[in-house]
Structure 1
Amino acid sequence: MTKSVLHDLAIAGGGTLLIALVLIVVGRMLARRGAGPLVTRKIPHALCGLFAAVAAFQLTNGTVVAGVLAAATLALAFIVERGLVPVPGVFDGTRSRDYGLVAFAGGALLATLAFWPDRVAIAGGVVVLGLADAGAALIGQRFGRHQVTAGGGVRTLEGSVAFVAIAFAVSWTFCTVWLELNSFMAVTVSIFVALTTAAVELLVLPAADNLLITPWVALLLHVAQELSTDDALRWLAAAVFGCAIVPFMLRMRWLDLPGALCGGLIAGVAVGLGGWGWIIPAALFFSLTSVLTGYQRPVRSGGMRSMSQVAVNAGLPVLVPVIGYAFTGDPLWYAVSIGGIAAGIADSWASEIGRFSKQDPVSVRTRGRVAKGTSGAISPLGSAATVGGALAVGCFGAVFGGLAMIPVGLLAGIAGSAVDTLIGASVQARFVCGSCGADVEDPLHCGAPTQPSSGWRWVDNDVVNACANATGMVVGFAVFVLIGG
């Protein structure tokens, strides 16, 4: 074993023990001084983030670092699962919150695996999480007066503002001191980091933010090292654009608040990491679909679209590929995105335009006619809308990605819509309303729980759409490769 490996094992092992000691000693000191549970959790966590960041600059062997982080993640998970709470106050005693420490280590592990040996990016991600998360929680508890209910639970506006400010300050410090970016670049990158991480922290479930924020910030700081001035201007425009469309979507009543925030995050990230061509097709066609949904339907039965629908129909086909593109710069990822968008639009247009058919659709399972809007059914008008929607997305994608996007969009859209229909006809969950007797797809109807009638209960509409969009993404990938795009 080389001296460098032994050195890294000593530093990493010693750092892990030091972090554990900080959790125990500082947590107990704060508890004895009468500090509340939130303070006794968040301050030690923030200190641990600082120690972990310092340790990153002392290490040279990525395998050792990943191994120690993996061991720490497993050990913390074992402690939480077994209920071994060595430090009352530091651990909350509830799995959902105590898994925050597990996710903290897991997020650092993901960042290490993805970006080592870029220690600056990894350390920046750890410090942003440690300080911004703790600061937001403490300020929100002390000064929070305006609650914000989003996908991840209830936060406060004051806490979210504090998160943005702290994340900006930490990012700016790393950009200026270690990355040596000029003032404009440092401010632009820091704004983008602060706003996107605050959105993630606001939207995701408790503990999940600890898993996601460190690798996310590490990605942004890693990419920022190669940014040109034009790229930085696009990041700034992306941040403004992402913030601006949130009130627009709320005013149009297309999305609820969590959905609008998620949409703003996806739009900003897509423009920032990829360019305008990554969001314009999705924005245009999903806007047209929203108009179709409301056409001759004064009160939409399902209400505004939710965050889960946005995540499935925009996050999956846009956010995932653009992150892959940021890693590699390969245009293949744009084909993946167009394939996923085409699948979602083709299926949506089949449903929204198909309802104007003069005849009821035919179920692909029973081959009998069923009511309009029934999953797993087809009609000539709906099938034509499927092809038209897929082709339209492909043609529009060709403006930004070349002529190869036309067959990508067409074939991926048809394939994704076919998968949606097949799953809807076979295993999608269906329920019977006890009040009106209607056969529905939702576990609630007429203000009361419904009774399962067929299908797999966990296969709801979001799961079906996710499978269809994923199919479109895979087909888009395959078509682009086969035609030599």
Structure 2
Amino acid sequence: MMVLGILFIMFLSVAAWKSKTLTKSGMIGAMIVGSAIYVGFSWKGILLLGCFFVTSNMWGKIKSKQKYSLHDMVKKHNERDIIQVFANGGVPAFIAMISIFDPSNFIIYTVLFSISLAAANSDTWASEIGTLSKGQPRMLLTCRKVERGTSGAVSLLGTCAALVGSCLIGVIAVLLFDLSIKNLLIICLFGFLGNIIDTILGQTVQVKYICRVCHKVTEKKIHCQQLGRKTSTFSFLDNDAVNVLSIVFSTCLSLLIL
């Protein structure tokens, strides 16, 4: 049964690569993450991971032409590489592996696993749906209006999407693992908190550059064939590192309640 499950995960990963959802390295990363989650949480864990993966890519493809202008601002695009796969799925995979060695606390690990996926889903929904907002978003800490797609910016549409994305993972986790209503609330709350933490880190410590030619703020170090100028001396993390930290922080903070 174990071999069959891993073969199925490999098949899905190859299919995602063929459909240009993942790069070749992303396909390998998905095999590793998926296999680890299957070993820890069996088919139920894969179904919850699949919910994140499918819905995230679905929103990514909706009105993709409208989002095309944002490609000039972000470092990476729709095809996820191995770094992006690990940034979103590495923490859930780690929790899945740890749960094997401590079966007496399986419920706690299940909730932590669900929170880590809820945080990833919340952030992805906020990013993909929030960019469709008609109005300009505002920086969370300063309320200054900025261009859509700017890291650290929020909109009403994106914030609502983040909450729904977290709650979706929470509800499915409760149905799959027969968790309590209290655990549902914890998953929804801390999953959404992961998006808030991501936004704060995105505004404060995520590296952004000002193009010396067109003066656009972008995640790309090279823009208009020129080396950009950092917007802040204290910024040092890229988007993938911010994603990992936001998931880690929100998941660890939940231990205060669990």
Contact 1:427 1:455 in 2 (8 A): no
Structure 2 residue 145 is matched with structure 1 residue 369: yes
Using CA pairs under 8 Å that are at least 6 residues apart, name the structure with larger relative contact order, 1 or 2: 2
The Cα offsets for residues 127-149 of structure 1, whole Å up to 9 and x where unpaired, read as xxxxxxxxxxxxxxxxxxxxxxx
Mapped to 1, the partners of 2:34 and 2:229 lie a distance apart of: 38
Aligned length: 246
Contact 1:430 1:455 in 2 (8 A): no
Structure 2 residue 87 is matched with structure 1 residue 309: no
- What code does the residue aligned with 1:461 have? N
Structure 2 residue 204 is matched with structure 1 residue 426: yes
- What code does the residue aligned with 1:272 have? V
- What code does the residue aligned with 1:237 have? L
Residue 417 (structure 1) shift: 1.0
The Cα offsets for residues 166-218 of structure 1, whole Å up to 9 and x where unpaired, read as xxxxxxxxxxxxxxxxxxxxxxxxxxxxxxxxxxxxxxxxxxxxxxxxxxxxx
**Over the residues paired in the alignment, what is the CA RMSD in angstroms?**
1.9
- Distance of aligned partners of 1:455 and 1:323 in 2 relative to their CA distance in 1, 3 Å threshold: farther
Task: Choose from 251, 265, 271 the match for 2:18.
Answer: 251
Task: Choose from 170, 174, 190 the match for 1:394.
Answer: 170
Residue 393 (structure 1) shift: 0.8
Task: Choose from 341, 352, 371 the match for 2:128.
Answer: 352
The Cα offsets for residues 111-134 of structure 1, whole Å up to 9 and x where unpaired, read as xxxxxxxxxxxxxxxxxxxxxxxx
Match of 2:97? 323
Contact 1:430 1:452 in 2 (8 A): yes
Q: Which moved more, 1:297-306 or 1:260-269?
A: 297-306
Structure 2 residue 31 is matched with structure 1 residue 264: yes
Task: Choose from 444, 462, 470 the match for 2:240.
Answer: 462
Match of 1:274? 41
* Percentage of identical aligned residues: 23
Residue 426 (structure 1) shift: 1.6
The Cα offsets for residues 384-431 of structure 1, whole Å up to 9 and x where unpaired, read as 111111111100110122134411221111211111111112222111
Question: Larger Cα Rg: Structure 1 or Structure 2?
Answer: 1
Contact 2:205 2:236 in 1 (8 A): no
Residue 446 (structure 1) shift: 4.4
- What code does the residue aligned with 1:264 have? M
Contact 1:338 1:408 in 2 (8 A): no
Residue 447 (structure 1) shift: 5.4
- Distance of aligned partners of 1:451 and 1:339 in 2 relative to their CA distance in 1, 3 Å threshold: same
Mapped to 2, the partners of 1:444 and 1:284 lie a distance apart of: 35
Mapped to 1, the partners of 2:233 and 2:247 lie a distance apart of: 20
Residue 239 (structure 1) shift: 2.0
Match of 1:408? 186
Mapped to 2, the partners of 1:343 and 1:288 lie a distance apart of: 14
Residue 443 (structure 1) shift: 2.1
TM-score (norm 2): 0.88
Task: Choose from 231, 237, 240 the match for 1:453.
Answer: 231
3-state SS of paired residue (2:28): helix
Contact 1:238 1:267 in 2 (8 A): no
The Cα offsets for residues 7-46 of structure 1, whole Å up to 9 and x where unpaired, read as xxxxxxxxxxxxxxxxxxxxxxxxxxxxxxxxxxxxxxxx
Match of 2:7? 240
TM-score (norm 1): 0.48
Q: Which moved more, 1:417-426 or 1:470-479?
A: 470-479
- What code does the residue aligned with 1:258 have? S
1:76-475 alignment to 2 at 5 Å?
233=1, 235-298=2-65, 301=71, 302-303=76-77, 304-316=79-91, 318-329=92-103, 330-331=105-106, 332-401=108-177, 402-403=179-180, 404-446=182-224, 449-454=227-232, 456-475=234-253
